[in-house]
Amino acid sequence: MGTADVEAVWRIESARIVAALTRFTGDFGLAEDAAQEAVAEALVSWPLAAPANPAGWLMATARRRAIDAIRRRTALQDRYALLAADPAVDEEIDPDKIDDDVLALMFISCHPVLSPEARVALTLRVVGGLSSEQIARAFLVPVPTVQARITRAKKTIAAAGVPFELPPAGERRERLGGVLSVLYVIFTEGSTATSGDRLLRPDVAYEAIRLARTLAALQPAEPEVHGLLALCELTAARFPARTGPDGSPILLADQDRRRWDFSAIRRGLAALTKASTRGLGPYGLQAAIAATHASAPSVEATDWDRIVVLYEALGRVAPSPVVELNRAVAVAMASGPAQALAIVDELVASDQLPGSHLLPTVRGELLARLGRRPEARAELELAARLCANQRERSVLLRKAAALG
């Protein structure tokens, strides 16, 4: 068995192992450390002698490491006695309990006491089973930064006395919203990289989709979980058409829709149906917008009126300047650039998106459509200066130059 085989088993088992250990030790940080030690041991010993039951091996080894760690903490002798007396750790196969454990792990990893960066790193590490190296590569940060974030996060959780349990029913939905936003941040990083020279990092987006599927399987009665999953699937469905062979971005209008992933669209639409049981929430509404695009044969034949209405609804449940800007784009398509420019100008006047390249990008496009070329050019050049993604920047500069 090679490194990749160990990683494969680890990806499948890590969440359950960390969750089970956390329940038995009552200490999330210790459980995570012990699990990491077990996988490190596996990387050394499996290539020499592969165990018959890799999952059981990992669990047993992690449990021994946890006991070692507790034994070293003399102050916790009583807890060690309790733990050592309990033989049921690896025999435990109550699926409901495992599900609750994994879900509790998600809630811990996305706990509000943690910084957003820590939530992302911890979720990918303990629920997704990614190594610090993989997370660092995904987010283009140094490995020690990821390690430090995870270490600090575990200390923060311990210091705050965060219990390992599902949040009480009253808090559950709000906390679930926090979990969803972490998954969405991960997805967004993969679907439009905030920095670097690549527009898409599908592997990052895929991790978010995988975790969203897990959450949807564990919380099937929560419409917004399906809404987020639908949004991710429908957005990812366009990935194959979003970049050219050289990696440059291709705008929606120019995308070859035959290259969209129709299986992903179908999965997204199915998830959207499940999200619609009690009226759509913010993710469900965004998914509905993505679905409207996905089922249109061309930009011209898109139901822009429906998209405007959906953005209006989104603006009511989750108001934000970005939603307003997107509504302006939809209005431009449905009713022309003049009406849209009024919305954008209002955003400019109230300084709603300071420093963002999106506002001047859209304003520049609208001005160009209105024939106000010098103004349009200045806006697009401003957008290019503000844009951190090199690929997007070159597109903006090209457009500005084309305006003469």
293: Cα separation from own chain's centroid: 21
254 counts as binding other proteins under rule CB under 8 A: no
Helix axes 3-25, 77-84, angle to 10 degrees: 110
Of 94-102, 139-147, 274-282, 309-317, which segment contacts other proteins by CB under 8 A? 94-102
Q: DSSP letters along 208-242, please? A: HHHHHHHHHHH-TT-HHHHHHHHHHHHHHTTHHHH
Q: Does 365 bind other proteins (CB under 8 A)?
A: no
Widest Cα–Cα separation across the chain: 79
Q: How far is the CB of 143 from other proteins (least distance, A)?
A: 19
CA 268 – CA 44 distance, rounded (Å) = 41
Q: Residue 14 CB, nearest distance to other proteins (Å)?
A: 11
267 forms part of the interface with other proteins (CB under 8 A): yes
Tell me how far, at minimum, the Cβ of 76 lies from other proteins, in Å. 33
Candidates 44-52, 209-217, 288-296, 331-339; binding stretch for other proteins (CB under 8 A): 209-217
Q: Torsions phi, psi of 242, nearest 5?
A: -85, -15
- Is residue 127 within 8 A of residue 15, CB to CB? The reply is yes
The minimum distance between CB 208 and other proteins, in angstroms, equals 10
Nearer to other proteins, 29 or 54 (CB): 54
Rounded to the nearest 10°, the torsion over CA 272, 275, 281, 285 is 10
100 vs 312 by CB, closer to other proteins: 100
Is residue 209 part of the contact set for other proteins (CB under 8 A)?
A: yes
Q: If we measure between CA atoms, which residue out of 289, 110, 95 comes closest to residue 185?
A: 110
Query: Which tokens hold the place of 321?
Result: 């300047």
Nearer to other proteins, 267 or 293 (CB): 267
Question: Using CB under 8 A, which of the segments 254-262, 279-287, 318-326, 372-380 binds other proteins?
Answer: 254-262
Nearer to other proteins by Cβ, of 231 and 329: the residue is: 231
Among 101, 261, 365, 381, binds other proteins (CB under 8 A): 261
Sign of the alpha-carbon torsion through 125, 128, 130, 136:
negative
What tokens does 125 get? 């590490």
Compare residues 49 and 85 and give the one whose CB is closer to other proteins: 49
Answer for which of 31, 62, 76, 211 binds other proteins (CB under 8 A) is 211
- In DSSP notation, 254-306 reads G--GGGS-HHHHHHHHHHHHHHTTT---HHHHHHHHHHHHHT-SSSTTS-HHH
For position 11 contacting other proteins by CB under 8 A, the verdict is yes
256 binds other proteins (CB under 8 A): yes
Nearest to 355 by CA among 326, 321, 377, 383: 383
User: Does residue number 217 form part of the binding site for other proteins (CB under 8 A)?
Assistant: yes
Least spacing, CB of residue 85 vs other proteins, in Å: 30
Choose one: 162-170, 260-268, 327-335, 353-361; the region binding other proteins (CB under 8 A). 260-268
96 binds other proteins (CB under 8 A): no
Segment holding 90, helix H or strand E: none
Query: What residues line the site for other proteins (CB under 8 A)?
Result: 2, 4-5, 7-9, 11-12, 95, 99, 102, 202-203, 206, 209-214, 217-218, 240, 245, 256, 259, 261, 263, 267
